[in-house]
Amino acid sequence: MKTETIEALRALAKKLGLTGYSKLRKDALLKLIANQERKAGAKSATKSRYASARTVTKQKKPRRTPGKTAGATPAKQPPVATVTPAPQNAAEAEQRVESAKYAFALPGAQEPTYAADLSEDIDRLPVIREPLLCLLPQKPGVLHGYWVLPAASLDAERSVRLRLATYVGDRLAILGEHPVPSERGHWYFHVEEGVEFGAVYLQLGRYRPDGEFVSIIERGVARIPNLYASTHTDRRWWVSDAQFRTMYRRAGGLERGKQLGWADSASSPGGPLAWPGNISSQR
């Protein structure tokens, strides 16, 4: 900012809503602006205001003003250049670039509307043939179940339940349970970390008065995706633990104690190698 001219600094002071700056010397003006920006809060916000003020100043020199080159009709609204926040990691950066394929305007712009084609009422979606029960893994620790049932299957007591279950040896272990209040709906099941799961089943049924669960429909089978590296090595393709760890780390993986996990989980709000089952799945 010290390299700016006194005129540019006065324009910035005006932009910041300051008064009494017109007779100040450059160093006093710098101090006044700095104080005001500190008061205004975050450093990033200050930078942003400084940038826009600088643009305003530069617009006095048409040749250097983007979007206001020689002969241009004055813009009805000032041109907006979006400075999008830097993505947190490679996966987010990739997602941003992939979504740029579908960008037609600056973020937040209104989409054009087109008249309905062929007189089709596309908002009236087809009736799904019931019963339908499905289980889909979303990520390690989270499974998505949905159901579509005949209205008659729901009794007045609303005793129908959805259960997520797995077999541990010969024993059926219940991992989650959810009431079924209406004929159709969905639910994200969160599964705790630390259990060796095989296949996971979704059961729909009701409890008898004696407490026993009677299954009406049982569907699955989903497997919970693996977040961690295997601990097994192949005899023919043996790799030392130290060497594998080195390759794993250089390939973007993370370590937590003896466990090796994949790097992208580091971007989750739970921190490095947080079990995603503990994090909201509706995002």
Subset of residues 223 to 252 that bind another protein, contact rule: CB under 8 A: 223, 225-234, 236-239, 243-244, 247-248, 250-252
**Helix (H) or strand (E) run with residue 47 in it:** helix 43-58
CB of 265 to another protein, least distance (A): 7
Half-sphere exposure for 233 (CA within 13 Å, toward CB): 11
Is residue 168 at the binding interface for another protein, with CB under 8 A as the rule?
no
Crossing angle for the helix pair 43-58 and 6-15, nearest 10 degrees?
120
Contact 222, 135 (CB under 8 A): yes
Is residue 82 at the binding interface for another protein, with CB under 8 A as the rule?
yes
CB of 216 to another protein, least distance (A): 18
Is residue 193 at the binding interface for another protein, with CB under 8 A as the rule?
no
CB of 243 to another protein, least distance (A): 6
CB of 173 to another protein, least distance (A): 21
Is residue 195 at the binding interface for another protein, with CB under 8 A as the rule?
no
Is residue 111 at the binding interface for another protein, with CB under 8 A as the rule?
yes
CA nearest neighbour of 180 among 160, 199, 163, 200 = 160
Is residue 198 at the binding interface for another protein, with CB under 8 A as the rule?
no
Residues 3-42 that bind another protein (CB under 8 A): none
Using the minimum distance from each CB to another protein, give the nearer residue, 28 or 40.
Answer: 40
Write out 6-30 in H/E/C secondary structure.
Answer: HHHHHHHHHHCCCCCCCCCCHHHHH
Residues 258-277 that bind another protein (CB under 8 A): 260, 262-265, 267-268, 276
DSSP string, 206-253: EE-TTS-EEEEEEEEEEEPPP-B------STT---HHHHHHHHHHTT-
Is residue 59 at the binding interface for another protein, with CB under 8 A as the rule?
no
Which among 1-9, 18-26, 98-106, 194-202 is the span making contact with another protein, rule CB under 8 A?
A: 98-106
Which one of residues 42, 125, 156, 214 is an interface residue with another protein (CB under 8 A)? Answer: 125
Number of Cβ within 10 Å of residue 102's Cβ equals 6
CA nearest neighbour of 227 among 176, 165, 277 = 277
Report the distance separating Cα 191 and Cα 3, nearest Å: 58
CB of 31 to another protein, least distance (A): 22
Is residue 151 at the binding interface for another protein, with CB under 8 A as the rule?
no
